[in-house]
Every structure is written in C-alpha cells, then in structure tokens.
C-alpha cells in the first residue's frame, strides 16, 4: 500500500500514523519527492482500513498495491485447490476434477427428488442439488419445504449414493445441514458476513455464489470471510449478474472464469440455469463455460418443468440434461484449463 501525503502536513499527525502502522507490524519506507512525501507500507496490509487512512488530514491519496484477500489469493497459493466432496467415491472439484451437479430448483416431494436424482445420475451427474430453503423475491411464492426438504434430499442421497448440495439462508438452520455434503450460500446472501463467518468454523465444502451486482473482488472477499475462519473448502459459482439486458434473467459473465482463475486458486463453477432463466440456453452456456475452463456446472433439472413450483422455465427435463451432459463430456478434454495443463 502506498500513502501520499499532502504538500503541507503536520509532523505530529504523521508520527501518530507511523506509530499506528508500526503497531500492526507494518514497515514504512519514506520517499521524499519534489512536492509530496510518499510512504510505502510493507507487510500484511490486508487488515489496514484504507478509508480510515484516506480520511486523515495529512493524506492526499492512498493506493493498494496488493489485493486485500490473502487466503484466496493465487499469489500466496499458486497450486489449484481441489475441494473434496466425497472421498470414498473420489468426487472432488478443482485442480482438474470437473463435476456435473444437477437437480431441481426446489425439493417438492419424495417422488420428485428421487426420480430426478436417479435420472441425472444415469446421465453422469455426480452431485445432487435441491433447494429446501428458497430465497424468493415474493413472500407469497413457494418458500421451500424447509426441514422436510432436507429430509427428502437425504432420502434421495440414500437411494442413489449421490452427495447433496442445498442452500442455507440463515445460520439458525445449520444443524439441519449436518448430513448435507455441500452448503450453498446463494447470490442474495453472498455478503451476509455473519453467515459467512459461521460457515468459516465449519469444515464442510461451501458453494459460494456471486451476488447479482458484485465484483469478482467482492466475491473473493466473501470467500475470504469463510477462509479466515479456517475453512478452505470454498467453491466459487458464477450465476449471472444484473446488466441492462432484459432478454435473459441475468447476464452470464463467462470472462469471470479466466479472471478468477488468475486471481484465485479456488475452483470455479458455472450455473447456466439462473444465468439465463431459459432452458434452451442452458446447452450453449454449459458448453461455453466448459470450454472456458470451468471446474463444474450446476444445472436445474425437473421431471415436469411446466409444473415446477420454482424456476420451471429454466429447468431442463431429464432427457434435456442427458444431452447437455453428453455434449459437455465431448468437449471437456479440449477445455482451456485442461489444454493449459
């Protein structure tokens, strides 16, 4: 971090700033310019509040040289992270391991979740998704089966052997997730910092979705919240962001894949279903994401999309999913990540 002082500054205030920085074990290099004095801060500046320094009377400008995320930063951890989901079955994501996650937006009944689980497993999905707690825009829309939804997902897990992923909305729900293999933090909760801190105390894999209007750096800062608590098992998910375009539900940021791959060692997966909101666009977006080097896809599949209680228009039928899974498998060997290795 670099701090540029105003032309005229008060020495006592500068001494205070220097003492404060030194108390955080930060070394300071002074350089006297023609007009300005510049302080080069060396050390771990991730906990230094840049706004606090900017607000000081003696400070003209502050610039961060190093990214404020340390645990998630590829610079400090060059090798790809592989998040283990089910070691007995050898299911992991990242560092060359690609997984297809599939299932309905919401768990609706035992018949529904079990039928979808069996069919997507046959087509090559290795992880089953299903929402039990649903973050709906309208309070009058179906809110999910909640605890019963988790119970039914566990039935489907018992039936098929597939590990399961489901979304948590509040930390009070955590005890219900004891046997859930991956906990999803949805887009709307990406910056629920108290929730992220609690999940940092868990050792379960966390599927962290990018917020509707969040930058990649903000996504990584949220991952940092989880990792700072000691949980390194974070999988990032790009699921489309808000732009001025209204044809699709969101705009899929494919460039997030190579960008995040440079910024972080964490695995990156893509959700083409929420990104587009349109089932026929799931195939081309899945192929694009795979080609660009994603570590996996999370796709909504329903046995009867027309009557789904949530997100029917973006849900594939089991047959549609089988086609996507086949096409993805065909191009996977040529994806950017694999070619580069």
> Residue numbers of the site for Mn ion (CB under 5 A)?
105, 311
Q: Give me the numbers of helices (H) and strands (E) for the chain, helices first please.
A: 11, 14
Closer to Mn ion by CB, 102 or 227: give it.
102
CB closer to ligand PEP, 96 vs 135: 135
Report the candidate in 95, 105, 99 with the shortest Cα–Cα distance to residue 126: 99
Based on CB atoms, which residue is closest to ligand PEP, 94 or 211?
A: 211
Residue 339: CB minimum distance to ligand PEP, A: 29
Task: Give me the residue label for tokens 């909305």.
Answer: 169
Q: What, of Mn ion, ligand PEP, none, does residue 239 touch, CB below 5 to 8 Å by kind?
A: ligand PEP
Mask for 233-272, x = binds ligand PEP (CB under 6 A): ------x-------------------------------x-
- Name which of residues 151 to 180 contact ligand PEP (CB under 6 A): 167
Q: How far is CA 82 from CA 45, 85, 261, 284, 295, in A?
A: 28, 9, 13, 26, 10
Give 9 or 142: the residue with its C-beta nearer to ligand PEP: 142
Decide: is 135 part of the binding site for ligand PEP (CB under 6 A). Answer: yes
- 105 is an interface residue for ligand PEP by CB under 6 A: yes
Q: Which is nearer to ligand PEP, 94 or 240 (CB)?
A: 240
Interface size with ligand PEP, residues (CB under 6 A): 11
Alpha-carbon span 101 to 126, nearest angstrom: 6
Q: CB of 45 within 8 A of CB of 64?
A: yes
199-238 binders of ligand PEP (CB under 6 A): 209
Longest dimension (CA), the chain: 76
Tell me how far, at minimum, the Cβ of 48 lies from ligand PEP, in Å: 32
Report if residue 274 touches ligand PEP, rule: CB under 6 A.
yes
Extract the runs of DSSP E, i.e. beta strands, from the chain: 2-5, 27-32, 37-42, 59-63, 83-86, 91-93, 99-103, 127-129, 164-168, 182-185, 206-209, 234-238, 268-270, 296-300
Residue 183 binding: pick among ligand PEP, Mn ion, none (C-beta 5-8 Å cut-off by kind): none
Instruction: Please give the Cα distance from 264 to 215 (Å, whole number).
Output: 14
Which residues of the chain form contacts with ligand PEP (CB under 6 A)?
105, 131, 135, 167, 186-188, 209, 239, 271, 274
């Amino acid at each position: 971090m670099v701090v540029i002082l105003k032309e005229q500054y008060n020495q006592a205030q500068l001494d205070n700033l220097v003492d404060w920085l030194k108390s955080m074990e930060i070394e300071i290099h002074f350089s006297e310019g023609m007009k300005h004095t510049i302080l080069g801060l060396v050390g771990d500046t991730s906990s230094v509040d840049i706004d606090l320094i900017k607000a000081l009377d003696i400070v003209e400008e502050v610039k961060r040289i190093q990214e404020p995320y340390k645990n998630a930063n590829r610079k400090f951890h060059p090798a790809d992270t592989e998040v283990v989901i089910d070691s007995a079955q050898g299911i992991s994501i990242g560092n060359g391991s690609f997984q297809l996650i599939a299932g309905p937006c919401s768990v609706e009944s035992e018949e529904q979740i079990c039928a979808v689980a069996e069919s997507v497993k046959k087509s090559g999905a290795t992880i089953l998704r299903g929402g039990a707690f649903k973050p709906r825009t309208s309070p009058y829309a179906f809110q999910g089966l909640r605890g019963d939804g988790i119970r039914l997902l566990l039935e489907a897990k018992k039936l098929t052997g597939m590990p399961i992923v489901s979304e948590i909305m509040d930390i009070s729900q955590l005890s219900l997730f004891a046997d859930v293999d991956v906990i999803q933090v949805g887009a709307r909760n990406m910056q629920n910092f108290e929730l992220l801190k609690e999940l940092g105390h868990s050792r379960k894999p966390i599927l962290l979705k990018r917020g509707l209007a969040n930058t990649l750096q903000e996504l990584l800062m949220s991952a940092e919240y989880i990792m700072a608590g000691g949980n390194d098992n974070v999988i990032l998910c790009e699921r489309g962001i808000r732009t001025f375009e209204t044809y699709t539900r969101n705009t899929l940021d494919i460039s997030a894949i190579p960008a995040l791959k440079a910024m972080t060692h964490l695995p990156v997966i893509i959700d083409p279903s929420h990104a587009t909101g349109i089932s026929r666009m799931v195939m081309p977006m899945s192929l694009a994401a795979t080609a660009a080097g994603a570590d996996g896809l999370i796709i909504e599949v329903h046995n009867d999309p027309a009557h789904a209680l949530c997100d029917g228009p973006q849900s594939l039928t089991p047959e549609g999913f089988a086609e996507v899974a086949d096409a993805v498998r065909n191009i996977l060997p040529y994806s950017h990540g694999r070619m580069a290795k």
